[in-house]
Amino acid sequence: MLRRLHRYAGLVAAIFVSFLALSGAVLSVVPALNRAATPAVSSTETVAQLAGRVAAAYPSIDQIRRMPSGQIVAYYYDGNTPVASVVDPATGKAVSDYSPQPFVRWMTELHRSLFLGDNGRIATALGAAAMLLLTVSGMTMLARRMGGWRQFFGRARGPGVQRLHIVLGRFAVAGLMLSATTSLYLTAVIFGFVSDGNPMYPPPPPTVDGGTPLPVADLTALQDIRIPQLRELTFPYQGDPTDVFTVTTATGDGSIDQATGQWLNFTDHGLAGRAYEWVYALHTGAGLWWLGLILGAMALTVPVMGVSGAIVWARRQSTRPKIAHNSGASHADTIILVGSEGGATWTFARTLHDALVAGGHKVHTAAMDSLAAQYPVAERMIVMAATYGDGAAPASARGFLKRVNEVAAPTFPVAILAFGDRQFPKFCEYAVEVEDALARAGWRCLMPTRQIDRQSSQDFAAWGTALGQVLGEPLDLVHQPVLPRTQGLQLIERVDYGAEVQAPTAILRFALPHSSLWARLTGRGFPRFAAGDLVGVVPHGSPLPRYYSLASSMRDGILEICVSKHPGGLCSAQLHDLQPGDSIDAFIKANPDFRPRRGRTPVILIAAGTGVGPLAGFIRANTAARDMHLYFGGRDPQSDFLYHRELETWLQDRRLTRLTTAFSRVGERTYVQHRIREDAAALRDLIGQGAQIMVCGGREMAAGVMEALADVLAPVGLAPATLKAQGRYAEDVY
């Protein structure tokens, strides 16, 4: 619901809100420019002193105004010509002509009404309302995604564009909310729904003394007003002893007898007056030039937010299959909630959805994060939860566990279907967590949880049969996995290692497919990738892709992977049979969490065997010569020392700071874990400098490395888990 609100408000209003934000950003520099052109005002001097000086310099003075920018403007006559000048309060003399700059006036009018009068003002108010809606819904969604308001400023995860959207959103949200709210307030004042404190009617005419007028500097009432408090001072008609001084200050307005110098009347503008002044200053930055610049910078993010939001939406559309006949949450009998990282679980959900709809059910399918507080007519819920990485919640379920505690346990029962990969030690760990949480919260169980290993269509069909029995109706689930669109990649070079130590390994380099500009613009070109991302290869004879870490980035102009030949491995065997000129079908899968963090802090890279691939990619890209330390483990330096020659070059041109190797079949027969323990002091020092650790390799090696690092870090009171939580310990394990 919230997401839909955010999405539609965003898509509909993006261009108009961006226009409002950009025009506002242009205007935001005006207060800072004005400030530079404004003579300093002493905050202790009084209006009597100021008026005395101006009246001495310009006897024909009509009115003195203090503008919201802080400028003091005097209106008087030069002979018969009316003049408005910015005056220096210290001298009372004009320093420049006062005339609202045409460009600023034009821009202001465009910003607030598009030159369309009241209709334009209503349109911009609607734009501000859309902005407010977007900020509030966006913040709430983000809090859910991060797992609560307290984690609101935690590390943003996810693909680059989404991270950009989150990071910019968090930066700008406060300013955008302020600008939108104050804009609505000002519009309400303009249309008379809210008072600005000015009285609608003048006070009853005062009885004036009529005696000889005092010099303006001697008016007692004006001696009590400090210059920053002044808004307007209007002089009486010259030679009319019955006329009065009228004064507007920050708190109200009144009139002063020119003979006695005393107040004749004063109307307090009250809270409404003060509120209006503040809201005006907060919206325009007038008198608060630094705030103006901050708000302007925040407004500049709006178009970027619009574009990145649209891209996130488009990507979601492409990874999340369209669900036909999706009923609303409030009138569905069956609720399917999906926790999916890459989109595969959604395709299973769609198969189930379609089968249930064909059986006459009204089905509502949504992300786990969209768990609603109530499903009034639901009879059952099915939670389809994948596990991301090492037991983490998948992208569409990050806030689910927290949400479960916020809603009441439903009366209908729930079934859990867990998706995972048995190769990972924490197989279906997240689904287990969900099951525990639901049980604790008092949810009833529809049927036992079943686990689906590596997207097995057979497992899924068997579960469907079981569900059918519970529902008392046949349920035939035939799942066709949907793969991302693959493209042909042609091998241009291969370098072989490790045959002598029974570990045949090849570095394979493929040419990038040529994408036309049109294809790239329409998102059908070969996607951008960087070292550490994954390439999915679909082998002949199996519909399931195998993933390999990329050892090159798009800007290297090639796609490089490092593959060892597994006994009986279907895909690795096919890859090892490739000769230059041969092609494979492949697609890119982003892996944004496995990447060196930005900045200049050192990076400790630890790999064994083919795990060195993505790390070599990071080193190759390290032209800025940031501190990078590589620990590499192999069997025999004569045989499987992958990237041997490249690493030598990179050491020389400082892309690599230090290389430490361990070989298990020669000499002392060491593993990288040994080297890590030996280098304990140096590693603690690097980590003290804020170093990030990146580990890539087999599961056993990664566990051994973590254990060794735990020992290394213990004396300084750190643990790998702590570093992980800070995003300083990344693993890519297979």
Smallest separation (angstroms) from another protein to the CB of 221: 19
* DSSP state letter for 341: S
Q: Copy the structure tokens of residue 19.
A: 């226009």
Smallest separation (angstroms) from another protein to the CB of 258: 16
Buried b (16+ CB within 10 A) or exposed e, 18-51: bbbbbbbbbbbebbeebbeebbebeeeebbbbbb
Residues paired with residue 249 on neighbouring β-strands, in sequence order: 230
Smallest separation (angstroms) from another protein to the CB of 198: 6
Nearer to another protein, 81 or 579 (CB): 81
Q: Which residue has the tokens 């983000």?
A: 142
Closest CA to 353 of 365, 341, 366, 369: 365
Closest CA to 75 of 3, 208, 66: 66
Which residues fall within 8 angstroms of residue 718, CB to CB, at 6 or more apart?
A: 687
In whole angstroms, what is the distance from residue 386 CA to residue 346 CA?
A: 10
Smallest separation (angstroms) from another protein to the CB of 19: 21
Smallest separation (angstroms) from another protein to the CB of 132: 24
Residue 393 has a CB neighbour count (10 Å cut-off) of 25
Smallest separation (angstroms) from another protein to the CB of 231: 12
In whole angstroms, what is the distance from residue 146 CA to residue 141 CA?
A: 9
User: Please, what is the Cα angle at 687 between 683 and 690, to 5 degrees?
Assistant: 150
Nearer to another protein, 246 or 449 (CB): 246
Nearer to another protein, 120 or 468 (CB): 120
CA torsion angle 544 568 420 427 (round to 10) = -170
Nearer to another protein, 120 or 359 (CB): 120
Smallest separation (angstroms) from another protein to the CB of 242: 10
Smallest separation (angstroms) from another protein to the CB of 30: 13
Nearer to another protein, 198 or 515 (CB): 198
Closest CA to 295 of 106, 29, 9, 107: 29
Query: Residues, the chain, total?
Result: 734
Residues of this chain that bind another protein (CB under 8 A): 62-63, 67, 75, 77, 80-82, 84, 99-100, 102, 105, 109, 189-190, 192, 196, 198-202, 205, 234, 246
Smallest separation (angstroms) from another protein to the CB of 150: 44
Query: Torsions phi, psi of 467, nearest 5?
Result: -65, -40
Nearer to another protein, 80 or 652 (CB): 80
Which residues fall within 8 angstroms of residue 402, CB to CB, at 6 or more apart?
A: 144, 147, 148
Smallest separation (angstroms) from another protein to the CB of 194: 11
* H/E run at residue 165: helix 160-190
Nearer to another protein, 201 or 518 (CB): 201
HSE-CB at 306 with a 13 A cutoff on CA atoms is 20
Nearer to another protein, 64 or 164 (CB): 64
Nearer to another protein, 18 or 234 (CB): 234
Nearer to another protein, 257 or 679 (CB): 257
